[in-house]
Homo-oligomer: A and B are copies of this chain.
């Protein structure tokens, strides 16, 4: 099994983190997040979005979108609840992450820490994205206050999906110490047996 990967990508890290917990073995092929010019050649036919992560199974079938990949491996394990409402809640947080959280927090982190381009290039959009990122963090904090996990009584794909970019949000300048419930939850996720770091 082959994962087209970018090591700094939180979207790819979701897949790597789940597969580490499940002890599933795979090969990696690293693609650049800054120079994406080779992606149509490499990912065309494998993933309509031409993005990483893209997974190729041993039989040649492929799958794109971090949320779809972790659902594929997560169903039937402790990371996807059996209860239909809790399953839908896990997906609610995963869609929230892709629509509200990632386009703000991951994008600002990429601009400032990984794009190789000067901050001024993004100046006219930075405040809007920072505000959107803080709105997403506010929503997480309200929900996590008094809870150990996003859904139910244990870690699920929802926690893996939100952990990925939240735990490196400071690289985009987000001040996480405003959010005690999020900080405690980040430590809880990282303390789970089988955890691996984003650079592992």
Contact = CB atoms under 8 A, between A and B. Distances in A.
Interface of A: 48-50, 57, 61, 63-69, 71-72, 75, 84-85, 87-89, 91-92, 94-96, 98-100, 102-103, 139-140, 142-143
Contacts of A49: 96, 99-100, 139
A61 B83 CA distance: 14
A68 to B, nearest CB: 4
Given A71-B87, A72-B84, A100-B49, A95 B65 contact: yes
A27 to B, nearest CB: 19
Give the oligomeric copy count: 2
Contact of A88 (B69, B92, B102, B142): B69
Top-6 shortest CB links A-B: A48-B139, A72-B88, A68-B92, A65-B95, A68-B91, A65-B92
A150 B96 CA distance: 23
A28 B12 CA distance: 39
A65 B96 contact: yes
A64 B92 contact: yes
A48 B140 contact: yes
A64 B50 CA distance: 28
A96 B142 contact: no
Given A48-B142, A50-B139, A66-B95, 10 more contacts: A48-B139, A63-B92, A64-B96, A65-B91, A65-B96, A68-B89, A68-B91, A71-B87, A72-B84, A72-B88
